Amino acid sequence: MTKIAITLQRREGTSAEAFREYYREEHAPLAAELSGLERYTVSFPADSDSASYDALAELHFPDGEAIAAAFDSELGREVTADAEAFADMDAAGRVVLDEEVVVGRARRRTGVLIDILLFTGRSGAILPPRVDSSHARRRLGRVISGPPFISCMATGKVDFFNDTGGYGFIETEDADEDVFFHMEDVGGPDLEEGQEVEFDIEEAEKGPRAKNLQRL
Report residue 153: phi and psi, to 5°. Answer: 65, 40
Which residues does residue 95 pair with via DSSP β-bridges, in sequence order?
5
Cβ neighbors of 157 (< 8 A, separation 6 or more) are 170, 171, 172, 194, 195, 196, 197
Phi-psi category of residue 13: left, alpha or beta, with phi > 0 → left and psi -120 to 50 → alpha: left
**Domains located in the chain, CATH noted:** 2-98 (3.30.70.100), 154-215 (2.40.50.140)
Mean pLDDT of the 148-153 span: 50
Range 195-213 average pLDDT? 80
Q: What is the distance between the alpha carbons of residues 90 and 87, in angstroms, rounded to a whole number?
A: 9
- Amino acid sitting at position 23: Y
Give me the mean pLDDT over the 94-119 stretch. Answer: 52
All residues at 6 or more sequence positions from 102 whose CB lies less than 8 Å from its CB, including other chains:
none
Separation of alpha carbons 91 and 212, rounded Å: 36
Question: What's the confidence (pLDDT) of residue 124?
Answer: 40
Rounded to whole angstroms, how far apart are CA atoms 198 and 216? 7
For residue 184, name the pLDDT band (cuts at 50, 70, 90).
confident
Percentage of the chain modeled with pLDDT above 70: 71
| 15 pLDDT higher than 60 | yes
Which of 74-83, 85-94, 98-107 has the lowest average pLDDT?
A: 98-107
- Are 40 and 61 contacting, i.e. CB atoms less than 8 angstroms apart? no
DSSP letter (8 states) at residue 10: B
* pLDDT for the residue numbered 153: 66
Residue 166 class from Cβ within 10 Å (0-12 exposed, 13-18 middle, 19+ buried)?
Answer: middle
Specify which of 73-77, 97-101, 187-191 reaches the highest per-range mean pLDDT. 73-77
What are 117-135's pLDDT values in tens digits?
433 333 344 333 333 333 3
Terminal C-alpha separation, the chain: 30
Average pLDDT over residues 7-22: 91
Res 144: pLDDT: 35
Tell me: pLDDT of 149 over 50: no
Instruction: Kindly state the DSSP code that residue 87 receives in the 8-state scheme.
Output: B
d(CA 146, CA 2): 28
